[in-house]
Structure formats: C-alpha cells, structure tokens
Amino acid sequence: MARKTLRIALIGAGTIGRTHATRSADVKGAKLQVVVDIDETRARAVQETAGAPERAADYKEVLARDDIDAVIICLPTWLHEEVAVAAAEHGKHILCEKPMALDVASARRMHEAARRAGVVLMIAQCRRFSQDWLKVRELIRSGAIGRPAVIRTVRALRLAEGWFVQEGKGNGPLLDGAVHDYDFARYTFGEATQVMASGMTFRADATAVDTGTAIIRFEHGDELVVSWSWGLPPGARGGYLHDVIGPKGAIFFERSTRPDFARLPAPDAGCGAVVIDRGQAGGIEQVPYPLRDMYLDQLQAFVDAVHAGGPSPVDGIEGMKAVAIGQAVLESARTGRVVTLERGLPSVC
C-alpha cells in the first residue's frame, strides 16, 4: 500500500524536468522531495522554482533511500534504461519520459524490471493527456472524416542540446520527436504494420539522422506521414503542420492553421477548438475541447495509478511499441527498404 503522500525524486533538471517540477505542487497525493541533477546549477534552480526540500547530484544515493517512493526520469534518452532498471530494483514507481528507450530491446528490459519488481512504470507519452489531441482522436474514431485517415505532421527547427542528434544518445527527431506522433497514431489507429522512410543529416555536429520523412501504415489501412528536422541553423524555423485527412473531410488542430478560419467565432472561455472542413457537403465545423494542463493531468494520472496499485495508464508495452515504430523508421531510412512490424513489434522480437 502506497504512502498517503508519495515522495517523489525528479531525476534530470533540464527542459522537461523543470516542466514536471512546476506541476508538482498542484498534484494531489504526492510531493516533490528531491531534485537530482549532476549539474548543480540546474538542480538548484529547479529545486527553488518548485519549492522542493532537497537537491542531490547522485541518483544512486537517492534510489537507495527508503523515504522515496517514486521517481520521474527526465534524463537524456540513453540513460533511461540504466536509471529505470535501478529504480525498479529499489522498488520505486517510475514515470519515465518518452521515448521510453533508444530501441525495443532496451525498452523490454525496462518493462521486465518493473514487472519483476511489481512497480508502476508509466511512459510520459503526454499527448494522451492533451485535450486537443484527444478530441481529434475521438473525431477520427467516431468516423467524422471517414476512414482510412492520414495524420500528417511537418516540423523543422534546431534543438540547442546536442545529444538529441547523436547516434546512441537521442537518435534524432525521427525517434525522439516523432515518437509523440507514433504513439498518438497507434493509440488512434491500432498497430503499425509497415514503415517506409528516408533520412539525411544537415548538422555538421550530428551523428544521427537529423532530417527525414516517414510513412507509417497501420492495421486498418490508416497512415501517418511525418517530416521532421532538427537540423536547421540556430534560430531558423520551418513550417509547422498537424492535420488529419480522410474521405469525408479534414481536421485541423488549430483555428490559426488557415486564414479563412479567422472568421470563425472564438471558442468559449476555457475552451480551445479543433476545426473540421467537410467541404461543400458539410461545411466547416468548430468542435470545442476544454483547456487543461496535460503535464499536470499526466502527473496526476501517474500518482493515482500508484495509489490504486496500478495499472499504469501508459505501460511499458505501450512505450515499447512507440519505440518500435521509431526503430523501424530509422532502419528503413538507413537501408532504403520497407520495414514490416508484427503485432506492432519488429518481426524478430
């Protein structure tokens, strides 16, 4: 039975660590006890912002403590497995940032360690708590634009932290960034069956593919098309698109996506709106969704799952299958071949 107020250690006080820390005060049933980072300046800054009692540099010392119940792992991706497995072996519940790991084998070891220890392992696929994405999922699944449907995502920018575009550390945007799209598409469409991709490297200091495009086919004929780059020069940004197209229309995530949507009435206070364009037959419809904080909802879901004794809202298998798509995309980009998946995993697994 979990302690009434879970004591959480946040491991990694970088960009996403800070995001979680700033939500911790609003979570019911838990408190952020200690902020861990090898960079003392970062640890102190996040500790002070979040009002956490302690900071530390060595995650191993923190995992050995009996007064810590759970960890939030916000480390660079190549460290997720090492720390998650150690946390599970110390009986700590785990909220681990996405992507779960760099490959399926690593994700599987994390999942197995949590299962053996009987702890909750949740992967922070945050779009599952994002109200606009959830509304789009609901619309697709209710047949609002027909099926099969195609989710399209285009993004290009540069990330300051170099590890994201290093092979064996972050593996570039086709794993680290697009894993949000892979997970959302799986969650909406079912299992991925086939992947085609191409990739290239723009940045002189990158060892991973930093720019690429993938087409992922799902079990009912739906598709995801992803084009990401983290290889632009500092400060430059490319276009930005998320939409979904189907035989009966198109769904837009934001009213700002098309100039003609500016004429639509503003959503009610506390609401955003996605827009469906059904053309001459059905016209344009705004569908409201409540504005909520997905990171707070995600953290609360984790804490609630620990108090309830499970299950995990996004378990290790879910995290692993999103990684499997990324791994297949990178393999396809490297070999130029179509890669197939069986029940959402590489055929050999």
Ligand X SMILES: NC(=O)c1ccc[n+]([C@@H]2O[C@H](COP(=O)([O-])OP(=O)(O)OC[C@H]3O[C@@H](n4cnc5c(N)ncnc54)[C@H](O)[C@@H]3O)[C@@H](O)[C@H]2O)c1
**76 scored as a contact of ligand X (CB under 6 A):** yes
Q: Do residues 185 and 141 make contact, with C-beta atoms less than 8 angstroms apart? A: no
- DSSP tally for the chain: helices H, then strands E: 10, 16
Smaller CB separation from ligand X, 205 or 260? 205
**12 scored as a contact of ligand X (CB under 6 A):** yes
Give CA–CA dist 13/86, Å, rounded. 19
- Convert 64-89 to b/e letters by CB count within 10 Å (16 or more is b): eeeebbbbbbbbbbbbbbebbbbbbe
Of 24, 30, 37, 274, the one binding ligand X (CB under 6 A) is 37
Smaller CB separation from ligand X, 132 or 223? 132
**39 scored as a contact of ligand X (CB under 6 A):** yes
Q: What is the DSSP letter of 158?
A: B
- Minimum distance between the CB of residue 14 and ligand X, rounded to whole angstroms? 2
**223 scored as a contact of ligand X (CB under 6 A):** no
Give the dihedral of Cα atoms 83, 85, 88, 90; nearest 10 deg: -70
3-state SS assignment for residue 229: strand
Percentages (nearest 5) of helix, strand, coil residues in the chain: 40, 25, 35
Helices (H), the chain: 15-23, 40-50, 59-63, 80-89, 104-117, 131-141, 179-189, 279-282, 294-308, 316-335
Binding mask 96-115 for ligand X (x = CB under 6 A): -xx-----------------
**36 scored as a contact of ligand X (CB under 6 A):** yes
- Minimum distance between the CB of residue 97 and ligand X, rounded to whole angstroms? 3
Binding residues for ligand X, rule CB under 6 A, total 24
- Minimum distance between the CB of residue 43 and ligand X, rounded to whole angstroms? 8
Give the dihedral of Cα atoms 178, 181, 182, 188; nearest 10 deg: 180
Beta-carbon neighbour count of residue 307 at 10 Å? 19
- Using the rule CB under 6 A, give the single segment among 9-17, 252-260, 301-309, 314-322 that binds ligand X: 9-17
| Residue at shortest CB range from ligand X | 14
**314 scored as a contact of ligand X (CB under 6 A):** no
**126 scored as a contact of ligand X (CB under 6 A):** yes
**124 scored as a contact of ligand X (CB under 6 A):** yes
**148 scored as a contact of ligand X (CB under 6 A):** no
- Using the rule CB under 6 A, give the single segment among 8-16, 190-198, 279-287, 319-327 that binds ligand X: 8-16
Binding site for ligand X (CB under 6 A): 11-17, 36-39, 42, 59, 74-77, 79, 97-98, 124, 126, 161, 176
